[in-house]
Amino acid sequence: MKKMLLAAVLASALAQAQPVDAIYSARYVVTMDAQRRVIENGALAVMGEFIVDVGPASEIAQRHAAKQRVDRPEAILMPGLINTHTHAPMSLFRGLADDLRLQDWLQKYIFPAEAKNVDAEFVTWGTRLACLEMMLSGTTAYVDMYFFEDRIAEATKEAGLRGVLGETIIGFKDPDAATPEDGLRYAERFIQRFHADPLIVPAVAPHALYTNSDQTLKAARQLADSYHVPLVIHLSETKKENEDEQAKHHMSPTQYLNSLGVLNGPTIAAHGVWLDDADMEILKARGTGIAHNPSSNMKLASGIAPVVKLLRKGIPVGLGTDGPAGSNNDLDMLEELNLAADLQKVANMDPQVLPAQQAVEMGTILGAKVAGLDKITGSLESGKHADFITLRLDRPHAVPLYNVYSQIVYALKGSDVRDVVVNGRTIVQDGRSLTLNQDQIVAKAREYGVRVSKSLHAPGK
């Protein structure tokens, strides 16, 4: 009789369980929701491209019947990392020139290398290399600004990553546009093509205040507004940039961009190293997000961004790698979490500022807000898209574990990523890409390395 009763109860429970495509469980589920829940022995349920439930694994198992189960008892499951600033195809210039000032690096090496090498095919392979590196180290979405951005979008979709991709507008001939006006037309065609894409958010990316005319900057804002897409721009990256603008217009770069109306809409501002209080008030009023790039700012000796002050003022700050050429030679976002926390501690001479949890926020939900993606990703919540990663906890540097956030920021590495899911699709499993051919991409990158080197050292070039 008892067996019959138990069978009836189990049958009833199964009948009430909601069908889902998959249940993923882990030792810890780090949600980054409003309550910042960390669920020990947690799980999430996925249906199609969406998360439909998050909670203790035992409860998720009762509420849902899954076609597939992925159990990671020695792992952290958390939102995918969001890289808020990079130039993906420049992965093929990795190591080309290092230990230089920004302007020397650009003028003497990068601009000449781009002029001689960058075409649509270069951009495709450079983006594939960058996407492979990003996915294997836990990035699920990134903000890019470069040339041939349609090729970047195609390669990003091929990889299965999410991208906010800005076609660069610059005040001189570049690889895909003879003039800024040509660049704006290219950007508009790019926006029209990808405006409704499930993975790609097109953007307009005037390179910087100092590389564009007032007319071009205003036109870029108008184009972005006409299609309701974000604008991406470098802002106050170096002290010289600020000094030049003060000498020219008696304003900071932020103040001058604001006077032109360039900040009057969704804007992702990269760097923001030399912002003062007046700049911050403008950025807060305009809702501008900051992409903080600690590795890049240190490597180029650009300075230390006032991240703690920005966050205290309620200005969203995400994390970016910049690069992946001379400003930073890799795309490992977990490294940026660590460096962001450490750099602010030494800058403020206070070990308590920017604690580990806040660094994780910057790499996930705050990064999503900066990128304009926080309604769909950046946290693990019902109704959001299923963008998440698992991090291994079974390696020597990952044990013992006392605090999950501290382990993520101060101990774990990009190489600890085991699984990556974007939009409900598994793109990395057991540390291997399921969407990109690693051997082919690495071989092609080596070919380009030889080609770029020859182009810069050939007689008469």
Can you give the pLDDT at residue 80? 99
Per-residue pLDDT at 68: 98
Domains of the chain: 13-79+383-430 (2.30.40.10), 82-371 (3.20.20.140)
Question: Does 324 sit behind a cis peptide bond, omega within 30 degrees of 0 on the bond before it?
Answer: yes
Q: What is the pLDDT of residue 6?
A: 46
| DSSP per position, 169-221 | E-SS-BTTBSSHHHHHHHHHHHHHHHTT-SSEEEEEEE-BGGGS-HHHHHHHH
Instruction: Show pLDDT as tens, one digit a residue, over the chain (461 residues).
Output: 555 554 444 445 455 899 999 999 999 999 999 999 999 999 999 999 999 999 999 999 999 999 999 999 999 999 999 999 999 999 999 999 899 887 888 888 888 999 999 999 999 999 999 999 999 999 999 999 999 999 999 999 999 999 999 999 999 999 999 999 999 999 999 999 999 999 999 999 999 999 999 999 999 999 999 999 999 999 999 999 999 999 999 999 999 999 999 999 999 999 999 999 999 999 999 999 999 999 999 999 999 999 999 999 999 999 999 988 878 999 999 999 999 999 999 999 999 999 999 999 999 999 999 999 999 999 999 999 999 999 999 999 999 999 999 999 999 999 999 999 999 999 999 999 999 999 999 999 999 999 999 998 765 44
pLDDT of residue 15: 53
Residue for token pair 């050292």: 457
Locus of tokens 């979405």: 141
Confidence at residue 326, expressed as pLDDT on a 0 to 100 scale: 77
Amino acid, single-letter form, for residue 175: P
Report d(CA 11, CA 23) in Å as an integer: 20
Structure pTM? 0.95
Q: Long-range contact list for 277-284, CB < 8 A, 24+ apart?
A: 277/309, 278/252, 278/254, 279/236, 279/252, 279/254, 279/255, 280/306, 280/309, 280/310, 280/313, 280/315, 281/313, 282/254, 282/255, 282/258, 283/254, 283/310, 283/315, 284/313, 284/314, 284/315
> What pLDDT sits at residue 10?
47
Asked if residue 234 lies in contact with residue 270, where contact means CB atoms within 8 angstroms, the answer is: yes
CA distances to 221, 316, 427 from 272, in Å: 19, 12, 33
Burial class (CB in 10 A: 0-12, 13-18, 19+), 228: exposed
